[in-house]
Every structure is written in structure tokens, then in C-alpha cells.
Amino acid sequence: MHTIDIEAEKKEIQKRYRALLKACKPTMEKGDKRQIRIAFEMSVEAHKNMRRKSGEPYIYHPIAVAQIAAEEIGLGTTSIVCALLHDVVEDTNITLEDIEREFGTKVANIIDGLTKISGVFDQTSSIQAENFRKMLLTLADDVRVILIKLADRLHNMRTLESMPRDKQLKISSETIYLYAPLAHRLGLYAIKSELEDLSMKFTEATTYKFIANKLNETKGERAKFINEFIKPLREELNKLDLTAEILGRPKSIHSIWKKMKSKGVPFEEVYDLFAIRIILESDFENEKADCWKAYSIVTDKYIPNPDRLRDWISSPRGNGYESLHTTVMGPSGRWVEVQIRSGRMNEIAEKGFAAHWKYKEQTSENGLDQWIQKVRDVLSSPESNALDFLDDFKMNLFSDEIFIFTPKGDLMKLPFGATALDFAFEIHSDIGTKCIGAKVNHRLVPLSHKLQNGDQVEVITSDKQKPKEDWLNFVITSKAKSKIKSAIREQKIKIAEDGKEILDRKLKSLKISNTNQSISKIALFFGLPSNIELYYQVAIGKLDLKELREYQVTEKKTPQKTQPKIDKDNLDQYMKQVKSKDSDILLIGEDLHKIDYKLSPCCNPIPGDDVFGFITINEGIKIHRTNCPNAIKLMSNFGYRIVKAKWTGQKEIAFLTGIRIVGTDEVGVVNNITKVVSNDFKVNMRSITVDSDDGIFEGTLMIYVNDTSHLDTLIKKLKLVNGVINVTRFDANKSA
């Protein structure tokens, strides 16, 4: 057994505390050191008997979170105090009242925002979504809640190795789904990239290692190329007396992988593996002009790609990011991305919100303030479903932006993909609800018209117009969605009152009980989501009430069964119920038992794939690949319903999977492919489809294989067929 050296640990805690104070020095004022000391001692005392999964003293974690908040985000004393105490209310006997007494209301409010919601939710709810919503409610008042939460998440991701596999998957998925986009939205690019890379390290371990090794192998060659590229630029900048730091940075592993996937190319064909950054020493008054001078030098030396100029200096991104980006053709025929910015712009790009605050006086418009106002609008929506809220939030507040002009020339920012109706609601809710059309660049367009960057939009309204259900099919902003739903709900409730009277009379004549429970069952029988919807459909004559006799018959036959609630406390009991006698292909659960399961059709897992089990409400346990298109959403929202799953030495069973083949359309190529599949490998093929266009063919094969090594060997063999350029496995991509 490992013995613990208490004295050595005490010394280590003090050493880490001193490093924290050093990181806090730039923002410290009189009396701050004492506040940090009190918070540190309170945290040490509260966590004294606690240890992390790695075996280290728990106090290492709050100190590390405070260090990240100070050093990597640039936060001040209040945030450091909150970071040191962020887990005490949730995990120890200290209460919010104790904290308020010692540190005041502001610190207590921030820590309340950081404290997770505990309790059991129904099957349709997500604990993670509720926690995220609670955290955002506090964001509307104090952005430091989110910044400390990001520091907390970053440290948890850096130390995730010691956690069990199912927890690694849950935390990584949650991180890529919510926290990395949030870091991006708050302008914390370095943290966003690290969170993405660390998530990938656990969900796509093989690919992550492969790209990391490749980057390592090409390091020397890359450094040589960067030096060659930079040299003439440095000379020209010196001639114009522009002082600049020029850096060559490799792109993150996650962004390289995204490019490999989106372009369907191997690592060797991803040319922009790094970006050159030119950071100019420039006064606020001259920085725009200096950036354009530097741009001129770059494009004089290297030919730019005209489609790849991004000017975020004239119109900064919503999170305050300012920079000029261009892609130029460098030596050896390689495309290189160049980013040009001032020191102030660079600090905002690195430190995001905290740096933006520092320079707030200099900038006339603060995109982050506007973004937080949008968050407040989303949070004020009456929607009760936390998952709907989360999807709307992701869609609106993490998406790319387009710039739209009003008829008077005022600039408005909307998410990419927004329609004329979204724009109308963005101006004002009343204008949205009365909107009948719009003029885009003086041309009449329908409400569903998608807006493009730079469009000038005039909204046309009518007092007779009312929101319609089909509007929800094409609006994308949270504001528009919530206002339309709210208006439709009010309309429906009025109409539903008539439907209720009609249904009451019918139930009375058929002698069917008229309780809330039986009305809910009738709604379910007709496949409707709520009692209001049932009354509404009755009122508008959409339902045939003669079918109530059929309901009566089925109700008498069907024994009353209630669907079990799945929550964290009854998972073990649920697992025992689905124990299997003869399931020997997968072992499932914490202790890896033999349990009944289904293979999910959205990703068609086969033996050898990295998989996990997801406990569904109606269909038992479903097995998904960890890189399934639906995995991130399932694991981040319903982490408590994720269970370990591991393949055992299975019998020779065939599993369905898909292969995509791209190649040149040569004579006999399809025949050669089917020969490899059927004759050489004795693999059963369920279907094959081939499309040919201008000498290039793309084929999809649905085949049965035994496991991943069987599939890999088949893919290697197919790549050797004359005319075949690329062979990849693909996901069916249906919903879970």
C-alpha cells in the first residue's frame, strides 16, 4: 500500500500557493493578499480529508483553478477567492451563508452560480442542461461565474487520465459540446483549443495520437519553412519602422482533424498545418493603419487567395476578436494562413473577456456586452425544457455571425443562416409577429428568405398578421422561436377551451372517466404531446372522436404499466433487470456484466470499436461508438445514463457496416471491387450503390464483417484496386 508523506504534501501545497500569489501580483491591490489567504486557509481546512481520483490532496485542484483564472484568463482577486472556494458548498459543510459573512454578497452569488444543482429529474430532463442553465442565469449578472467554470473544466480535463473510462467519455463530450464553444464565444481561443484537443484525446484516442506523432515528426521541416517564410517579411517591416513579433504556430490537433474530415484528405494533404502571426507594437490611434501596412507587405511578397481575406478589424467578431486574416501562397507551393494584429488585439484574442474589459474605454462598442444581453433575452424565454433551451443556445450564441443593415444603415448581427423573419424579431417582437414579408436590397422576398452578409433589409408588416406554426420551420434565433411558440400557445389555449367542452360532452356520453390522468392517456393514444394539443385538435376538427371507442377497448385490455424513471440512484437496479443469460459479445456496466443490449443503427458498432452503453427509456441499453454522430450530445446531456461496454472474444458473427469508395471511373472498376468483397474476403454484401460524375465515381457498400480488424484488412485490399482513390468507413447518421 502506498504511504502518504503528509509533510511533503504540506510543503507542496505551500509551494503551489506561493506560485498562485505570484500569478495574482499584476492585479493585486491593498488588502487583496489577506482576502486570498483567508480563502486559501478556508479551502485547505474544508478539503483536508479529501483526495482526488489520482490520490493527490483535493486542495491541489482549487489552487490550480485559481492559478488558471489568474495566469491564463487574467482575472482579479474576487475571482481568485471564488476559484479557491468553488467546490466547498457542494462538497463540504461550509454554507453560502458562511461565505457571505466572510467575503460578502458578490462572492457568495458567484459561488452559488458555480454550485451544481442536485436532485433527480424526470426521464426527459438532463441534469447537465439544468446545471448549464443555472450557470448561465448567473452569467447574466456576473460573467466571472463562467470564466471560473472554464478554468475548473480546463484543470479537470488536464487531469482526466485518473478517471474511469465512462467518466472520461462523459466529461470530454460535455466539454466539446458546451465548454469549448463557450470559451470560443468569450474570446478565450487558447483555452478553447486546449479543451478541444483534450476532449479528442479521450474520445478519439487513436486519431489524436496519430496526428500528434505526425506533427512531432514534421516539426524540424516546419520550423525551417517558417523561418524561410518570415525572413523577407521581417526585412520589409523594419524598412517601414514597424516593430513586430512574428510567430509560427502549429494549428491545434482538433482543427487539423476537422480539416481532414471535412475535406476527406489524409494528414499529408492538410497544407495549412500552422499559422503565421504578426503582432505589431502600435498605439491605439495607429493600429488599424499599421495592420493594413503589414498586410500590404505580406501580399506584395506572397500571392494572396482572394477568397480568404477576413477583415475583423473593421467589423470585430461578436466576442471582441479583432484581426486581419489572409491566406497566401508561400514557398514550395504551400498555402499559409497569416494573422495580423496589434498587441492590444492579441491580448484580447488570448485572454478574451478579461482583456476586453481592460480596453473597454478605448472601444466604442463592446460585442461581449451585446452578447450577454442576448443571453439574458434567451434566459427570459418561458420555455421549460432545458434540452430545447440548450439546443437553441448552442445554435444562436455559438454560431458564426452575419452583418445585416437596416434601411437607415444601422448594423445588426445575426447568426449564420438567419432569415428575414429572424431579422424582424431581432428589431422588435411586435414587428416579428406582424411581419408579412421583407425587402432585401430593395427586392421583395418571403419571410423564409435566408439573409447574406451585408444585406440591407426592410420589414413589411400588417396588423392582421398572426404567428403561424410553420414559421418555426425556418426561424433559427432563440428570440424568434420563443416569441412564436409563446404566441401560438396563447392562440391554442383560447381555441382549446372550445375543444375541452366538446371532448367533455363526448367522454360523458361514452362513460369514460374525465380525470387529468385519463385525458393524458387519450392524448397519448392519439399520439399528441399534451392535453392542450388534444383539446386544440378536437376544436379544429382534426380528430375523429369515434376512435374513442377503440381507446376504450384497448384501455380495458392493457394492464396498467408505468414507465420506470431512470435516475442516478436506480441505475444499478435497472441494470439487474436487464441481465442476460447468453449475451456473450459485450460486457456492460461498472463491473462489466453480461447484459442485454441493442446495437444502435446511427453508427453500426462492430467488435473492436471503442463503444459505450446508453440506457434508453423504452429500448433498454443501446451500444454506440464513442465517435458516433450522436455520442457527444448523449454523453454531455445524459452522462448519468452512460455505462461502460467492452467487447469479449465473440463467436463468428457478422455485423453490418458501411464503406464509401471514391475513384476514377475506369472500365471494370465496380466489378473488381465486388470481386474483392465477395470472392477474396467471402464477405456478404447487403447493398451497393454507385454514382458517376465527370469521370469520378462514388460508391457506397453496406457489408457484413466480423470486427474492426476484418474491416481494416478489407479497406486496405480495396485501396489496391486500380482506379480507387480513397476508401473510408462511414456512419449511417440516423438519430439514436
pLDDT tens-place string over residues 542-559: 777 777 777 777 666 555
Contacts of 480 (CB under 8 A, 6+ apart): 421, 422, 425, 426, 432, 471
**Angle 611-616-619 from CA coordinates, rounded to 5°:** 100
pLDDT in tens, 188-227: 888 999 999 999 999 888 889 999 998 888 888 888 888 8
Q: At what angle do helices 127-139 and 105-114 cross, to 10 degrees?
A: 150
For residue 332, how many other CB atoms are within 10 A of its CB?
A: 9
- pLDDT given for residue 405 in this prediction: 84
Can you tell me the distance from the alpha carbon of 630 to that of 620, in angstroms, rounded to the nearest whole number? 17
Contacts of 653 (CB under 8 A, 6+ apart): 585, 706
Strand order in the sheet with 443-445: 443-445, 435-440, 457-461
- pLDDT given for residue 618 in this prediction: 66
Local structure of 456: helix, strand or coil: strand
The whole-number average pLDDT for the span 475-487 is 86
pLDDT at 583 over 50: no
CATH H-level superfamily of 6-206: Hypothetical protein af1432 (1.10.3210.10)
Q: What are the structural domain ranges in the chain?
A: 6-206, 211-362, 368-480, 486-557, 568-647, 655-730
pLDDT at 582 over 70: no
Contacts of 328 (CB under 8 A, 6+ apart): 298, 299, 302, 303, 304, 305, 335, 336, 338
Q: How much is the mean pLDDT over the chain? A: 79
- pLDDT given for residue 141 in this prediction: 60
pLDDT band at 373 (very low <50, low <70, confident <90, very high): low
pLDDT at 81 over 60: yes
Can you tell me the distance from the alpha carbon of 699 to that of 659, in angstroms, rounded to the nearest whole number? 8
Contacts of 680 (CB under 8 A, 6+ apart): 717
pLDDT at 121 over 50: no
Grid cell for residue 246: 512574428
The whole-number average pLDDT for the span 322-329 is 91
Residue among 668, 645, 540, 637 at smallest CA distance from 583? 645
- pLDDT given for residue 249 in this prediction: 81
* Residues above pLDDT 70, as percent of the chain: 79
Local structure of 313: helix, strand or coil: coil
Residue among 407, 371, 377 at smallest CA distance from 389? 377
Where is mean pLDDT largest: 366-375, 398-407, 493-502, 603-612?
A: 493-502
Residue among 694, 689, 680, 696 at smallest CA distance from 730? 689
The whole-number average pLDDT for the span 625-649 is 74
Can you tell me the distance from the alpha carbon of 252 to that of 264, in angstroms, rounded to the nearest whole number? 18
- pLDDT given for residue 297 in this prediction: 94
The whole-number average pLDDT for the span 131-156 is 76
pLDDT at 361 over 80: no
Can you tell me the distance from the alpha carbon of 266 to that of 254, in angstroms, rounded to the nearest whole number? 14
pLDDT at 107 over 60: yes
Q: Which residues are catalytic?
A: 90-91
For residue 446, how many other CB atoms are within 10 A of its CB?
A: 12
Q: What fold does the segment set 368-480 form as a domain?
A: Ubiquitin-like (UB roll) (3.10.20)
pLDDT, greater one: 151 or 681:
151
- 687 contacts 656 by C-beta, under 8 angstroms: no
The whole-number average pLDDT for the span 462-483 is 88
Can you tell me the distance from the alpha carbon of 566 to that of 577, in angstroms, rounded to the nearest whole number? 13
pLDDT at 440 over 80: yes
Residue 274 CA, distance from chain mean position: 24
pLDDT band at 139 (very low <50, low <70, confident <90, very high): low
- pLDDT given for residue 392 in this prediction: 56
Can you tell me the distance from the alpha carbon of 73 to that of 148, in angstroms, rounded to the nearest whole number? 9
Contacts of 311 (CB under 8 A, 6+ apart): 324
For residue 506, how many other CB atoms are within 10 A of its CB?
A: 15
Question: Which region among 40-44, 90-94, 352-356, 378-382 has the lowest average model confidence (pLDDT)?
Answer: 378-382
pLDDT at 261 over 70: yes
Q: What fold does the segment set 655-730 form as a domain?
A: Alpha-Beta Plaits (3.30.70)
- 645 contacts 594 by C-beta, under 8 angstroms: no
Q: Which CATH architecture has domain 211-362?
A: 2-Layer Sandwich (3.30)
The whole-number average pLDDT for the span 581-601 is 59
Question: Which region among 12-16, 179-183, 184-188 has the lowest average model confidence (pLDDT)?
Answer: 184-188
